[in-house]
Amino acid sequence: MAHRSGGKYAGSHSTLMNSATTIADFLERNGDIRRISLGLIRNHSGGGGARVLKMLDDTGCVLLVVSQGGSVQQIRIYSDNSQKVKDGLAKYARGIGWKVRFGSRI
């Protein structure tokens, strides 16, 4: 597990799935993002080794659902230009081998 706090990171939870560190570091460098809020990591049965990033529009933010190998973490990102952030993140994630999905609000 990795940890991120301070700067754009908000909230008391600072633990990040190892596989999601590159995504979080990309988000932190993105000037269009004001705040990043990390959710708890959950384990569930199943899930292959593929790294999957799902992006959903949520109230006032973009909800990212990051999963790999049975672990899932939600990350909320806050921006004034959500579409630009989603487009850039999708391009970046695909470029480093992530499967990217889009969906409606959970």
Q: Which one has a higher pLDDT value, 59 or 63?
A: 63
Which is nearest to 74 in space by CA: 85, 65, 82, 83?
65
What pLDDT is recorded for position 91? 97
The string of pLDDT tens digits covering residues 24-56 is 999 999 999 999 999 999 987 666 688 999 999
Q: Residue 87 to residues 40, 72, 101: CA-CA distances in angstroms?
A: 25, 22, 12
DSSP secondary structure code for residue 78 in this structure:
E
Contact 36, 22 (CB under 8 A): no
Taking each helix axis from N to C end, the angle separating 21-29 and 82-95, rounded to the nearest 10 degrees, works out to 140
What residue spans define the domains of the chain?
Answer: 2-97
Q: Residue 46 to residues 1, 54, 68: CA-CA distances in angstroms?
A: 20, 17, 10
Q: Which residue has the tokens 């999963």?
A: 67
What pLDDT is recorded for position 87? 96
> What is the average pLDDT across 82-103?
95
The string of pLDDT tens digits covering residues 51-62 is 999 999 998 899
Which pLDDT band, with edges at 50, 70 and 90, does 105 fall under? low
Rounded to whole angstroms, the Cα distance separating 41 from 66 reads: 9
The string of pLDDT tens digits covering residues 67-90 is 998 899 999 999 999 999 999 999
Where would I find the H helices in 4-101? 21-29, 82-95
